[in-house]
Structures are given as C-alpha cells and as structure tokens.
Amino acid sequence: MSRPIQINNHPFRFLLYLEWILLAISVITSVIPHPSPRFSSKFPELTILNLTIFGLMGLRLPTGNHIMKIIYTACGISLIFITGLFGGRADRLFPFLYIILVTRSCLIFQLPGRLSVTFLSFTLFLLTLMYRMPRYPLPPHAQERFRYFTLSLSLVFGLSLVFVLLLMNTVLSERQSREELAIANEKLRQYALRIENQATLEERTRIAREIHDSLGHSLTALNLQLETALKLYQANPDQAYSFLARAKELGSKALQDVRHSVSTMRSHPLQNQSLSEAIDTLAEDFQRSNNIILHSQINLVHPLSTEVNTAIYRILQESLTNISKHAKATEVNLEVSVNRGSLHLIIQDNGRGFDIQQNTTGFGLKSMRDRTLALGGKFSINTAFGCGCQITVDIPLGRLI
C-alpha cells in the first residue's frame, strides 16, 4: 500500500498553502455580514464547519486503497456542494474549492479518475448555478444579461478546470520523469561502481600474474645465479664472475619488468601525447627491448576521443607484450588507419602462432576483446601453428571522434 500524502511528504507544498489561503478567504467572507439579505449566509456555522473539514482533509490524501480514494472524494464533493447551496456570499468562492478538489484528485487518482472528478465538479457547478437562479421573473434585457453572464461563467470555470487538469498532469509527469531519472542514475552509478571494482580486480589479477610469470621467474633465476657465484667465489673466481654477470642481466630484466608493470597501471598512458606519438614511442621501446623489427604505418587524420585513444594504445601494448613473451617473432607489421568512419588496427607477426581453439581465454586476449566491444567494435584473431598471428580491430567512430 502506498504511503498517504501528508505535510511532510507533500510533493507540492505550495499547493497546500494556496488551499489554506483560499479556505481562509472563504471563511472570512461567510462570517462578515452583508447588508443585502440575498447575499447573506443562511447557515454561516454550517459553512465554516464544512470549509474547516474540507481544509483538514487536505492534510492527509489517500493513495493506496481505491475505495478510500472514492469515499474521500465523495466527502469532499458533498462538503463543497453543501457550501455552494447554503454559503451565501461564500458561494462566490466555491468554484475555487472545486479547483482544489480537482488538484487533489490529480495527486491520488490516475488519469481516468482525474477526468471523472473534473467532469463531476463541472456538473455540480452547473447545478449550483441553476439553484441560485432568481425565482422571480426578470425583464427581457435582464434575462439576456443573466444568461450571458451564466454562460460566460460556466465557460470560464470549465476552461479553468481543464487548465488545472492539464497543468497538474504535466507537472506530475515531469516529477515522475525526474524520479525515474534519479532512480536510473542511481542504478547507473551503482553499476559503474561495480564495473570499476571488477576492472580494478581484473587489473590486479593481471599484474599479479605478470609479476609471477616474469618478475618472479627473473628473481628466482637471479637468486640461483648469486648462490652459485658465492659457492664458486674462492675456488673459481672467473666462473663466479660469469654467474655474477648473468645475475646482473637478470636484475636488469627484473627492473624492466617492474617498470613495464608500473607503466600499465598509469591512468593516462598517452601522457598528453597524440596517439601517433604514443604508438611511435611504444614501437621504439619494443624494438629496443626485444630486438624485433617493427614496421608501422599510421594514418590518423582527425583527432580521436580519449576513450578510443586509450583503448587502441592498450590493445597495442597488450599485443606487443604477448608477441615479446610468446610469439618468438622476428618481425611485426603494425597498421592504424581511419577509413569510412571506422578505425582499423592490424597487428601481424611472423612468430610461431598458436591453436586458436585452445588459447583464446587468456587475460590479455580477453582484455583486448572487451576494450573493442565496449566501443562497439569488432575484434578478430587469425592464427595457426607456424603461421604467425594477425589481430584485427575495427571500431566505428561515429560520435566517438
């Protein structure tokens, strides 16, 4: 069951204040005496009581039980109708009470209920006008004026009800849209937080695996070289020196692995460089560190977004890392170009290749595939034993430029 609308959770507090102002004016007009008996209140106490009860009803609007909504609205209509019949001068303000009733119905009913209350309010307004018509004959010109006044008042009141109904529907729809948007934003924020946590966990797993596979192996071999050099230091200094030299090489390689792991953790890998400059730097480091020839062909005319630049750089970085570790290649061809609104990336090596049916679940390949799919692109691998490997990435740019 929905929570009733009260002062503390009223969606439009100013409407509640406006109701109190109109009701206070109605009470005052019913209390102040009028010199003409025609406009004096027949039962001022009844009018004040009705208006007080009607005002107190606005402090708690039912929103759950449909029967309670109908009973609540029926009581409000009865109070207004009685006030219109016996209110004297207060009946001049009872159309505003019908407007208050329609406003309340918009808060508790759906559109069919709102339309029903609006139509019923207009009908009761016409009945009240007919009841207040003079009982004695009028001159022809007075009758014409009275009919014109009655018709004009009815049209104005009907249009007022329609305006209030449309205005409330618009305001409520906008409020509902804002609430749905806030809920969607909260869900999106939570989803983004989960994605961020998952990405952080995967990155930690990858770095831990890389440290275990590269740095751990280098440090283990370094430790063995140093132990052997210590044992041979007095008996065979020349051989011990060769083990120390090998240990130094292993130490340099371990330091290089640490620097590589740290570089992959940078949040801005391009460091204010363009993608072409960053690729050139990455290619130079790759050739210098692995003694592998890399042929690059980069054709980027328009600047790309940060998301595309970062994704392409990381894919290249991961591809070259896999080539240096597993491919045993001597030559790599790299091509990056933009053609017909899409970015094309091709990385091909002449290494030993691998069985594509068994080696496509590694973290590196999965990371490259996920980065490509996140941008709406296509990722494909073409390889076989002894035939090298070719990685192709196609990313539609569109609004990503």
Distance CA 58, CA 288 (A): 80
Please spell the DSSP secondary structure of 40-76, one letter per residue.
S-S-HHHHHHHHHHHHHHTT-B--S-HHHHHHHHHHH
Helix axes 44-57, 66-86, angle to 10 degrees: 150
The label of the residue with tokens 């009240």 reads 128
Instruction: Give backbone dihedrals phi and psi of 55, rounded to 5 degrees, phi first.
Output: -65, -40
**Residue 194: predicted pLDDT:** 84
The reported pLDDT for the residue numbered 265 is: 61
Q: Which residue's entry shows tokens 């045993």?
A: 328
| pLDDT for residue 63 | 82
Domain ranges of the chain: 13-187, 269-401
Give the other-Cβ count within 10 Å of 289's Cβ: 13
Q: Residue 345 has what pLDDT?
A: 94
Q: pLDDT at residue 367 above 70? A: yes
Closest Cα to residue 51, out of 125, 126, 101?
A: 101
360: confidence class by pLDDT, cuts 50, 70, 90: low
Q: Quick one: average pLDDT of 172-183?
A: 88
CATH (residue range 269-401): 3.30.565.10
For residues 81 and 125, give the distance between their C-alpha atoms in angstroms, rounded to a whole number: 8
pTM here is 0.47
CA 205 – CA 183 distance, rounded (Å) = 33
What's the pLDDT tens digit per position in 178-218? 888 989 988 888 888 888 788 778 777 767 766 665 676 67
Position 344 scores a pLDDT of 94
Rounded to whole angstroms, how far apart are CA atoms 297 and 314? 18
The set of residues, in sequence order, having a beta carbon less than 8 Å from that of 278 and lying 6+ positions away, is 269, 270, 271, 309, 313
Is 313 within 8 Å of 275 (Cβ atoms)? Answer: yes
Residue 188's identity, in one-letter code, is: L
Strands 331-339 and 293-299: parallel
Who has greater pLDDT, 117 or 262? 117
* Both structure tokens of 337: 């170009």
The dihedral over CA atoms of 229, 232, 238, 241, expressed in degrees to the nearest 10, equals 10
